[in-house]
């Protein structure tokens, strides 16, 4: 089969043996937008690493079913599992980062409430925000031909970093301080399996947050001589790290 320009999403729960039944919104996209027909072969991904080559056996705008012909694992996924820690901020900025960083290859998003966050976390809305980000992530993995939907987790206050950093081989945080290390220097000689990149709010990290990060072994990293906006810094940091680690080749 010629490589498809479109991947379709199938929740793992809807894969039964060698049979697949797509949800109604994805069925409509397959049948009406992409104009696929019975007998056509398409790719479907389940967000947990599986890519299925599927032959369509039923095709209506309300329901598309198919038979699995082949299964591949972790196609186009980075070897390094990169997590990106982001403070809660205005929705449009986070939406942009979630979409583009997923396309680049981020494996996990860690949300936190910074001391200087513009917007404080609203516990009553946190699940709705993350659910919206999951939908953005699904669109992004289809766009970028990935198989894994990034995990999304809120850790509460920034001072909880010391509890999660121990799970990473290396942790780096973006810093404007003149003593911050070049990213190339910090990663020299490292082949981490798990790496955490931390972005601060636009007002910067508080003194206490920097102490928490540094006491947990995190290294300050310079992203260059120019001051970047929050969303630009997040995407630049991600791209630079993946490139240095050989994940963009």
Is CATH 1.10.3720.10 correct for 7-73? Answer: no
Q: For 81-244, CATH number?
A: 3.40.1280.10
**What distance in Å separates the CA atoms of residue 117 and residue 173, rounded to the nearest whole number?**
16
CA dihedral in degrees (226, 230, 233, 237; nearest 10)? Answer: 150
For residue 192, what are its two tokens?
């981490």
Q: Which residue has the tokens 């050989």?
A: 246
**What is this structure's pTM?**
0.92
Per-residue pLDDT in tens (0 to 9) along the chain, 249 residues = 445 468 999 999 999 899 999 999 999 999 999 999 999 999 999 999 999 999 999 999 999 999 999 999 999 999 999 999 999 988 899 999 999 999 999 999 999 999 887 666 566 688 889 999 999 999 999 999 999 999 999 999 888 888 888 889 999 999 998 899 999 999 988 889 999 999 999 889 999 999 999 999 999 999 999 999 999 999 999 999 999 999 998
Helices (H), the chain: 24-28, 91-104, 126-143, 161-164, 183-187, 207-215, 230-244
| Domain boundaries along the sequence of the chain | 7-73, 81-244
Structure token pair of residue 61: 């705008």
């Amino acid at each position: 089969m010629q490589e498809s320009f479109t991947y379709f999403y199938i929740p793992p729960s809807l894969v039964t043996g060698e049979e697949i039944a797509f949800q109604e919104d994805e069925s409509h996209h397959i049948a009406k937008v992409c104009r696929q027909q019975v007998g056509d072969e398409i790719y479907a991904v389940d967000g947990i690493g599986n890519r299925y080559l599927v032959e369509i056996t039923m095709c209506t705008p309300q329901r598309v079913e198919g038979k699995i012909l082949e299964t591949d694992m972790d196609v186009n996924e980075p070897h390094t599992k990169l997590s990106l820690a982001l403070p809660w901020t205005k929705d449009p900025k986070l939406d942009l980062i979630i979409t583009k960083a997923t396309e680049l290859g981020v494996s996990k998003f860690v949300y936190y409430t910074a001391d200087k966050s513009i917007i404080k976390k609203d516990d009553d809305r946190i699940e709705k925000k993350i659910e919206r980000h999951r939908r953005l992530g699904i669109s992004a993995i289809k766009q970028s031909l990935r198989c894994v939907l990034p995990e999304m987790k809120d850790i509460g206050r920034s001072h909880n970093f010391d509890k999660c950093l121990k799970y990473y081989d290396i942790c780096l945080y973006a810093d404007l301080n003149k003593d911050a290390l070049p990213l190339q220097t910090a990663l020299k000689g490292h082949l981490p399996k798990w790496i955490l990149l931390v972005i601060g709010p636009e007002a910067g990290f508080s003194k206490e947050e920097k102490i928490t990060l540094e006491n947990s072994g995190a290294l300050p990293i310079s992203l260059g001589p120019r001051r970047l906006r929050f969303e630009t810094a997040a995407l630049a940091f991600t791209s630079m790290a993946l490139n240095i680690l050989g994940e963009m080749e």
